[in-house]
Amino acid sequence: MKSKVKVKIDNVKLVEKLSKLEIEEKDYFTKQFNETLSVVEEINNLDTQGLTPTNHVTNLSNVFREDNIDEERLLSQKEALSGSRCVFNGYFVVKAVFENE
């Protein structure tokens, strides 16, 4: 647990892909990544044996509400689509997910 993690540029490339981001200056980014990790890893010096991880800070659990629809709060289709840059016939337009064979 206490071993220091050293992130390499390949790790950064993987995380970049997972996050759907594009990073320029990957070397600089990797350096900063390691700097941050070395600071946060200080918590490994604390003994947390037997402690439960915090799940909810004010100890709420299983909060439910009635499964009712409040008609006044419904957005119209037009409103719901109003933030999109590309709509067609009342739908959001997305890039094709599957490639043609």
Partner 1 sequence: MNNLTIKNARKLFVDKKISSHDLVKYYLERIDKYDNKLNSYLTVNEKALEKSRNICKPPDKNKPLLGIPIAIKDIFLSKKLRTTAASKLLDDYVPMYSATVVERLENAGAIILGKTNLDAWCHGSSTETSDYGPTLNPWNSRHLSGGSSGGSAAAVSADLCTAAIGTETAGSVRGPAAWCGVVGFKPTYGRVSRYGVIAMGSSLDSPGPITKSVEDASLLLRIIAGKDEYDATTSDISVDNYLNELKKKRKNLRIAFAKNYLLKNMDDRAKKAIIDTTKVFKKIGAEVREIITLDPRYAIGVYTIIQRSEVSSNLSRFDGIRFGKDRNYFGQEAKRRIMLGTFTLSSGYQDKYYKKAQKVRTLFINDFKRIFENFDLIITPTMPGPAPKIGATKNQAMFGEMADILSEAPSIAGLPSISVPCGFVDGLPIGLSIIGPQFSEKVILKAAYLYERFTDWKNFKPNLENL
The three-state secondary structure class of 75 is coil
Binding mask 6-35 for partner 1 (x = CB under 8 A): -x---xx--xx-xxxxxx-----x--xx-x
By CB under 8 A, tell whether 56 contacts partner 1: yes
CA distance 26 to 16: 10
Q: Tell me the residue ranges of DSSP E strands in the chain.
A: 87-88, 91-92
Residue whose structure tokens are 């659990």? 61
Q: Are 16 and 23 in contact (CB under 8 A)?
A: yes
- Count of residues of this chain found to bind partner 1 when the rule CB under 8 A is applied: 51
Among 27, 65, 96, 100, binds partner 1 (CB under 8 A): 65
Site residues for partner 1 per CB under 8 A? 1, 5, 7, 11-12, 15-16, 18-23, 29, 32-33, 35-37, 39-46, 48, 51-58, 60, 63, 65, 73, 75, 79-80, 82-86, 92-94
